[in-house]
Amino acid sequence: MGKQMRIGVLTGGGDCPGLNAVIRAVVRKGIKAHGWEVVGFRNGWQGPIENLTKPIGLTDVEDILTRGGTILGSSRTNPYKVEGGVDRIREVLAENKVDALIAIGGEDTLGVAKKLTDDGIGVVGVPKTIDNDLGATDYTFGFDTAVHIATEAIDRLRTTAESHHRALVVEVMGRHAGWIALHSGLAGGANVILVPERPFSVDKVVEWVERRFEREFAPIIVVAEGAMPEGGAEVLHSGERDAFGHVRLGGVGQWLAEEIADRTGKESRAAILGHIQRGGTPTAYDRVLATRFGLNAVDAVADGDFGVMVALRGTDIVRVKLSEATAELKTVPTERYEEAEVFFGA
């Protein structure tokens, strides 16, 4: 047992399979290995701003390993866009006698964590996003589950597409990174994969689709929500921006399905998977990765090593500076996409 501490934990940004596994690991190791108390802050950064807390003990995490979502709730609150937000966080942490925070989230949540560390608040980050777009870690938990769900959907859609001789466009999440599209498209045997990293030619897509129809098979096109046609722009679900300045993407799948139908004369349908990819039980891989991240985040707190994020490098969990974790978006490199192109239209 080391120094007696009270640590806070919160989950910010979009929900993600595996969040509860991290919380469980933090609570179990914090209590059993160090004798600490753990305070949960509810609804992301809104929790330490508005003093929304709940103590978390061993019984509270007993059965949450397999549950999707987060028992703490989440939000896209940005303390730096709330007047007096950072000062309020200091007050709430002091009031609850919290010595350090473990923040579980993606680029936005961790960006706040980095700023708070610069402002003298002790924070350790844990990378979470189904998009797998954080550059400082090889993989984020939640990604494997999202890919698994999208792949299963592609498998199911293939049978109905073949039955009706239709083209089926499957739109997946990922924001400005094409990792979910690339991995699920490869795993599902898609005939075309379209990612945000490379603007696509509608003429080329139609050529691949027609080649597939000529062989009397139904084409499956996987498109990331942030993919753009050449000379075009992202398709927005709405023009509104959240507290971190992000627009809500969505709709490129329906647009592309209509284009394919108009240009080929063949029936074409769109399936937008949306939040299905973020819900439900995490895969075994994500449960293990999330658990390892949680355990190592506690180690960082115990070492007083703040301003870091735990990350996966190869098979090892390492610590990287939060500044590195949020420095740049990890996107699909050209060579990875070109590997997949050999299957297009086949």
Given a contact cutoff of 8 angstroms between Cβ atoms, the answer to whether 113 and 123 are in contact is yes
Strands 247-249 and 220-224, by their bridges, are unpaired
173 is in an annotated binding site: yes
Annotated catalytic, 155? Answer: no
90 is in an annotated binding site: no
CA angle 336, 337, 341 (to 5 degrees): 125
313 is in an annotated binding site: no
Token duo for residue 17: 């399979």
Handedness of CA 215, 220, 221, 222 (dihedral sign): negative
Is residue 322 classed as helix, strand or coil in its secondary structure?
helix
269 is in an annotated binding site: yes
CB atoms within 10 A of CB 146: 30
CA separation for the pair 264, 177 (Å, rounded): 29
Nearest to 269 by CA among 221, 236, 205: 221
278 is in an annotated binding site: yes
Segment holding 289, helix H or strand E = helix 284-302
Nearest to 331 by CA among 133, 138, 141: 133
Token duo for residue 302: 């115990």
CA separation for the pair 193, 174 (Å, rounded): 13
The single residue of 15, 63, 131, 138 carrying the catalytic annotation is 131
129 is in an annotated binding site: yes
158 is in an annotated binding site: no
Is residue 310 classed as helix, strand or coil in its secondary structure?
strand
CA angle 197, 332, 17 (to 5 degrees): 110
53 is in an annotated binding site: no
Given a contact cutoff of 8 angstroms between Cβ atoms, the answer to whether 301 and 31 are in contact is no
221 is in an annotated binding site: no
14 is in an annotated binding site: yes
131 is in an annotated binding site: yes
166 is in an annotated binding site: yes
For helices 19-34 and 284-302, angle between their N-to-C axes, nearest 10 degrees:
40
164 is in an annotated binding site: no
CA separation for the pair 186, 184 (Å, rounded): 5
Q: Residues at the annotated binding site for diphosphate?
A: 14
Q: Residues at the annotated binding site for substrate?
A: 129-131, 166, 173-175, 225, 269, 275-278
Q: Residues at the annotated binding site?
A: 14, 107, 129-131, 166, 173-175, 225, 269, 275-278
Q: Residues at the annotated binding site for Mg(2+)?
A: 107
Task: Supply the residues annotated as catalytic.
Answer: 131
